[in-house]
């Protein structure tokens, strides 16, 4: 099984090179996942050294653990989804945890369903295709979670010129806890850089939505002023409507004030990695850091971010999914 270790080393080297060149790429997450998978296959291949009893136990654990994990995850997501709906309402974005949990429930039983439908070729094909699709999406989701966690552990280098705070919806014209968390993290970064002798500016970025009495940038700036940040250290970008516009408009402001700037972008932890992908697309030289989010809110928000990344890479993912469905059909109808 040494071949798997060699392949894992190749993927690992590609991962390191990718991170050094630009850590704000989703391909880094996939390379990290492929490295882990190849190492796992190599370790599984070592099982032939076990005795008969130990090998049988190993097979049982190998086959049973994923099914158990998915089942526990499904129950957790359903329970979390109910909490999310109760606290945040029944909007689609708040239902993602619940819907994902319901979708995961039948997954552990797909092999059994395929075996039960052994005489029904179409049923076997559907079960096999579903299992392959779920495996692919599960792999990508694990890649996303793992690399997002690693990215979130990277501390911003000192010497930055700006701290950009991405806006989010106001509630009754006031800064809600989700946005306050971002602003508090930005203020802490500003203070730390100021104490080191720097003179960073904080850019509050967010326009005025149809249900908001004031632009988000102004409410955010008021929050910072209340927290002790001087008015001359706050710059307001109040025309953007989306995250890409937040970044694009902020980029223009920063370039005008300090050409060749370096910045730190602040958002919530569930949004940090996708925001990092966007900063690269917007041509911004900066790192994204995340602020804390309420535990009950995190699962649905993380799923929403993952789905958004899938949509952004929809052509590649659609081709792979079609190929997997075709492969399942070919195996069943062979």
Helix (H) or strand (E) holding 264: strand 263-268
- Over its C-alpha atoms, the chain yields an Rg (Å, rounded) of 24
Strand partners, 220: none
* Count, residues in the chain: 334
What span, in angstroms and rounded, lies between the C-alpha atoms of 189 and 246?
A: 19
* 3-class DSSP state of 236: strand
pLDDT bracket for residue 119 (50, 70, 90): low
What span, in angstroms and rounded, lies between the C-alpha atoms of 261 and 160?
A: 7
Per-position b or e across 2-11, b if 16+ CB within 10 A of its CB: eebeebbeeb
What span, in angstroms and rounded, lies between the C-alpha atoms of 86 and 138?
A: 27
Contact 282, 240 (CB under 8 A): no
Cα 262 to Cα 20, 143, 257, 325: the distances in Å are 17, 28, 12, 45
Helix (H) or strand (E) holding 164: strand 162-166
pLDDT in tens, 6-31: 999 999 999 999 999 999 999 999 99
Chain mean position to CA 232: 34
Contact 47, 58 (CB under 8 A): yes
State the chain's mean pLDDT as an integer. 89
pLDDT in tens, 55-114: 667 767 766 777 888 888 889 999 999 999 888 888 887 888 999 989 888 887 777 666
What one-character DSSP code corresponds to residue 89?
Answer: -
Per-position b or e across 132-143, b if 16+ CB within 10 A of its CB: bbbeebbebbeb
- Angle of helix 121-152 versus helix 272-281 axis, rounded to 10: 80
Quote the pLDDT of residue 131. Answer: 87
Contact 140, 30 (CB under 8 A): yes
61 or 1, which is more confident: 61
Quote the pLDDT of residue 185. Answer: 96
Per the structure block, which two tokens stand in for 182? 């971002």
> Average pLDDT, stretch 139-159?
93
């Amino acid at each position: 099984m040494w071949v798997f270790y060699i392949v894992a080393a190749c993927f690992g080297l590609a991962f390191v090179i990718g991170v050094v060149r630009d850590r704000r790429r989703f391909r880094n997450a996939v390379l990290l996942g492929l490295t882990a998978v190849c190492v796992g296959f190599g370790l599984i291949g070592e099982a032939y050294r076990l005795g008969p009893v130990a090998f049988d136990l190993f097979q049982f654990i190998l086959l049973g653990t994923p099914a158990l994990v998915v089942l526990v995850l499904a129950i957790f997501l359903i329970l979390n989804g109910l909490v999310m709906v109760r606290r945040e309402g029944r909007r689609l974005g708040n239902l993602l945890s619940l819907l994902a949990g319901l979708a995961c429930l039948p997954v552990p039983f797909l092999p059994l369903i395929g075996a039960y439908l052994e005489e029904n070729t179409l049923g076997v094909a559907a079960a096999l295709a579903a299992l392959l699709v779920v495996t692919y999406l599960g792999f990508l989701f694990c890649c996303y979670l793992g690399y997002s966690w690693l990215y979130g552990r990277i501390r911003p280098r000192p010497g930055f010129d700006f701290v950009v705070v991405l806006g989010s919806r106001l509630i009754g014209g006031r800064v809600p806890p989700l946005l306050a968390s971002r602003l508090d993290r930005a203020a802490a970064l500003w203070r730390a850089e100021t104490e080191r002798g720097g003179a960073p500016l904080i850019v509050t970025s967010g326009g005025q939505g149809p249900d908001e009495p004031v632009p988000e940038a102004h409410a955010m700036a008021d929050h910072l002023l209340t927290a002790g940040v001087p008015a001359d250290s706050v710059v307001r970008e109040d025309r953007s409507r989306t995250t890409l516009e937040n970044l694009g408009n902020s980029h223009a402001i920063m370039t005008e004030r300090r050409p060749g700037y370096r910045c730190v972008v602040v958002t919530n932890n569930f949004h940090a990695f996708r925001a990092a992908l966007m900063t690269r697309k917007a041509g911004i030289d900066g790192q994204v850091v995340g602020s804390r989010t309420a535990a009950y809110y995190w699962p649905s928000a993380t799923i929403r971010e993952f789905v958004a990344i899938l949509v952004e890479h929809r052509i590649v993912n659609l081709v792979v999914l079609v190929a997997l469905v075709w492969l399942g059909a070919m195996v069943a109808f062979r």
